[in-house]
A and B are shown apart, each in its own frame.
Chain A
Amino acid sequence: MSEPSERRVRVPRCGEARVWEKGVGPPLCFLGGLRGLPRWPAFLDRLAERRRVIAPSLPGFPGAAGHDVLDDVADWVVAAQDLCEAAGAAGADFVGASAGATLAAEIAAFSRESVRRLALIAPYGLFDEREPVADVFALRKDEVARTLCAEPATYESFLAKPDGVDEIEWQVTLLRAEEAAARLLWPTGDLGLARRLHRIVAPTLLVWGSQDRVLPASYAKRFASGLGGLVQVRSVEGAGHMAELDAPEAVADAVLEFLR
């Protein structure tokens, strides 16, 4: 696994954001999940074998500033669009995970021309009281890894401090990512996307880990029934909420096949 190239772009109001890029082929924009991208994961390497993967950091997530000026869905969507345009990903295929998948879906709803096709891995954005989304912001320390990933060690190594990085700054970076996710999703993750789902006409793949302990698999059906375009649902056996970490090859292959 080689490192991606790195550049910085400016997002109006928010500040600088890191953009990672790797691979050749048609562009594919990836928006990360509840912790953003503290490191380049195997999942993106697999995608980069066939696509030019552009991974811009959303405000507040590792590599990017400015979540604290974003107060509502409109602010977040505008910032995400500004970011993706600055990263050169406008009109690309979009892949998102969890919190990032919500914003990918919102961009597709607000701005149909910005997104060619969509692959959403366990997207937030809907809420059903009969089958509530787990509260990832109210977990005891020892519950976090096993709630977010099927394999806790996978989660731990994704967040492990890279060599040469200051311990306190690394902790602050990870906590800031949690805060950014909370700022977007608190308290239920329901951003009103249900009222906009019909606007999403881009062909959409929904990927769900069979062991998702955050968003019950039934949410795939809720999304699928509301989306305005062609929809496919893929369940990934044995993967948790962060399916792209638990099963990088299976999820990447499903995405690549759908976007072929």
Chain B
Amino acid sequence: MKLLWFHLMPYTRLPEDFAQRHASVWVDIDSRLFDPAQAHGMYNEFMDELEYAAEQGFDGVCVNEHHQNGYGLMPSPNLIAASLARRTRDAAIVVMGNSLALYNPPTRVAEEMAMLDCISGGRLVAGFPVGTPMDTCFAYGQNPSQLRQRYHEAHDLIVKAWTTPEPFVWNGRFHKLRYVNVWPRPVQKPHPPIWIPGGGSIETWRWCAEQDYVYSYLSYFGYKLGRATMRGFWKEMERLGKEPNPYRAGFLQFVGVAESRAEAMELYREPAEYFYGRCLHVDARYAAPPGYSSEATVRARVQSQVVQAAQRASSGQQTTAGQRFEDIVEQGYVIIGSPDEVAEQLRAVATELRVGQLMLLLQFGNMDRQLTLHNTELFAKQVAPQLRDLWDDRWENRWWPRPLPASERSRPAEVARA
């Protein structure tokens, strides 16, 4: 099994009464809460943490894209990935997304990801999310009714740009380009592995199966609520006659490791309550722009996790705001315990959900660097060894980067000083 270290880069200084005094952490979050000097420290610590995770032997480090969002300081994950490409040696650089419809022309994504693949020596995983309504339709003004059509055209264009040796004309519905000829080209042939972060839409599952891409369910609500989605995914794969290779599936899980469960309860309470109480405080008005969900999805009443959270808020149901850590753990949002307890739970979760690409959130909410590194080290040294062998006896990970041989990869050189 592959173990990947995922950073959301949450702003860690939202006030305690954020959920009471502010309408939303996303889209129209109060910019006066943002202190650039503090963010300077956060970015550098977060990048330290990602580099540390790679050093500790995690198979990959993951970054993602959010806009106008208080729990995601990466409008451009490619910037962070570029730095990681230089500062890490073997780990996969997993960019869990460029939201394709947001780039005009979409060849920008083909170019930047090819740069990342070249700089890293072929360690890139190319994540292509549609993007949340908050990011795409509201922060970036995309028409929700056209978003998926634009996404699919961008996808087709990018893959063609990576795989066509000659310059070609793209006379698409939304994009017209007379000369497509990206330079540089990716190291990995025909192109870096493509992973699709998605909610629970049936079309996305079918499309991943058709294209032979990894489907990643990036849930903030843990394995208990993720079960139904992953079960639906595997049922659909079976129906389509796809082999049940667990490496087809990615899943995100929050984890807090300590010497004991009691200590974990103490250590991870504040960051978890911060994340679920303040970071997921999304105004319901931005959750479901008309047309964002396909008609089939609307019919099936399968909706993405964030939408569900926001709708719980809009209908006056319990939100995650004000939840106590006991409930957060009980509901499985965060898995905690001693290294052995965490390993046992994660092994059971990965087995039940049939996940080969397991993404761990070991920094969440306002967790500071010291605790993050502690969590990461305990996981790497004492949990990971108990999980690595899962699946490898039977399944090949066809969706993992194929870098240049280590001996042929450049290392950052010490700069000669005058």
Contact = CB atoms under 8 A, between A and B. Distances in A.
A80 to B, nearest CB: 17
Interface in B120-147: 137-138, 141, 143-146
B214 to A, nearest CB: 28
B317 to A, nearest CB: 12
B315 A141 contact: yes
A71 B173 contact: yes
B299 A137 contact: no
Interface string B154-196: 0000000000000000000110000000000000000000000
A171 B145 CA distance: 17
A179 B144 contact: yes
Contacts of A182: 143-145, 289-291
B145 A183 contact: yes
B285 A139 contact: yes
Interface in A65-119: 67-68, 71
A11 interface: no
A36 to B, nearest CB: 13
Interface residues of A, number: 23
B414 to A, nearest CB: 50
A176 interface: yes
Contact of B174 (A67, A71, A137): A71
A175 B283 CA distance: 20
Nearest to A169: B299
Interface core residue of A139, A168, A179 (most chain B CB under 10 Å): A179
Interface residues of B, number: 22
A258 interface: no
B295 A183 contact: no
A78 to B, nearest CB: 16
B397 interface: no
B245 interface: no
Interface string A180-200: 111100110000000000000
Contact of B299 (A68, A71, A172, A180): A172
A140 interface: yes
A175 B145 CA distance: 11
A176 B315 contact: no
Given A140-B314, A175-B298, A181 B290 contact: yes
Task: Classify the interface of chain B: helix, strand, loop or mixed.
Answer: loop
A13 to B, nearest CB: 13
A183 B291 contact: yes
B47 interface: no
A139 B138 CA distance: 12
A98 to B, nearest CB: 15
Contact of A186 (B143, B286, B298): B143
Interface string B314-340: 110000000000000000000000000
Nearest to A135: B285
A33 to B, nearest CB: 14
B285 A140 contact: yes
A143 B174 CA distance: 34
Interface in B297-314: 298-299, 314
A154 to B, nearest CB: 21
Interface in A37-68: 67-68
A180 B299 CA distance: 17
Contacts of B290: 137, 175, 178-179, 181-182
B14 interface: no
Given A141-B315, A175-B298, A182-B290, A67 B145 contact: yes
A38 to B, nearest CB: 15
A138 interface: yes
Those 8 A-B pairs whose CB atoms lie nearest each other, nearest first: A179-B291, A178-B290, A183-B145, A179-B290, A186-B143, A138-B285, A182-B290, A187-B141
9 contacts: A137-B289, A143-B285, A176-B295, A179-B145, A182-B145, A182-B291, A183-B145, A183-B291, A187-B141
Interface of B: 137-138, 141, 143-146, 149, 173-174, 283-286, 289-291, 295, 298-299, 314-315
Interface of A: 67-68, 71, 137-143, 168, 171-172, 175-176, 178-183, 186-187
